[in-house]
Amino acid sequence: MSQNMDIKTVERVAMLARLDLTEEQKNMLGDQLGNILGFVEQLSEVDTDNVEPLASVVDSSLPLRKDEVTDGQKKDDILANSPEQNEDFFVVTKIVE
């Protein structure tokens, strides 16, 4: 039942997840992900016609609250853990030439 995930698929998923992987990791993940997908494949045995997906066990609908400011003025707190900052901004690698 289990089948390796091919390297091209591993690379595509790694790109979607923005994960830099070594060649060794790609090979290992190809084997392991194939096994795990083989394992979860048994769900296809279950008849789920006319079954609604269950996204949350909390039955009630999400509560609404008034749209008002209850918090704020925490610029320093928010920036305190950033790897790089300049005045009031997070700094990242140059995006626009």
Partner 1 sequence: MTDLTKISIADALKGLKDKSFTATELTQAHIDEMGAQKHLNAYITQTPEQALEQAKASDERYANGTAKTLDGIPLGVKDLFCTKGTKTTAASKILGEFVPPYESTVTQKLLDDGSVFLGKTNLDEFAMGSANTTSHYGNVINPWTSPNNPDVSYVPGGSSGGSAAAVAAGIAMGTTGTDTGGSIRQPASFCGIVGIKPTYGRCSRYGTVAFASSLDQAGVFARTVEDSALLLQSISGHDPKDSTSMNIDVPNFMAGMDGNLKGLRIGIPKEYRMDGMPEDIQKMWDQGAEWLKSEGAEIVDISLPHTKYALPTYYIIAPAEASSNLSRYDGVRYGLRVDGEDLDDTYAKTRGAGFGDEVKRRIMIGAYVLSAGYYDAYYIKAQKVRRLIRDDFTKAYEKCDVILTPTAPSGAFPIGANEEDPIKMYLNDVFTVPTSLAGLPGISVPAGINADGLPLGLQLVGKAWDEATLFKVADVVEKAAQFSGLNSTSRNVA
Which residues form the interface with partner 1 (CB under 8 A)?
A: 5, 9-10, 13-21, 25, 29, 32-33, 35-37, 39-44, 46, 48, 51-58, 60, 62-63, 65, 74, 77-78, 80-84, 90, 92-95
Q: Minimal distance in Å, beta carbon 35 to partner 1? A: 6
DSSP H/E element including 90: strand 89-90
For partner 1, the closer of residues 60 and 72 by Cβ is 60
Give alpha helix (H) positions in the chain.
7-16, 23-40, 75-79
- Cβ-based burial of 63 (10 A; exposed 0-12, middle 13-18, buried ≥19): exposed
Q: How far is the CB of 1 from partner 1 (least distance, A)?
A: 12
Give least dist CB 50 to partner 1, A.
9
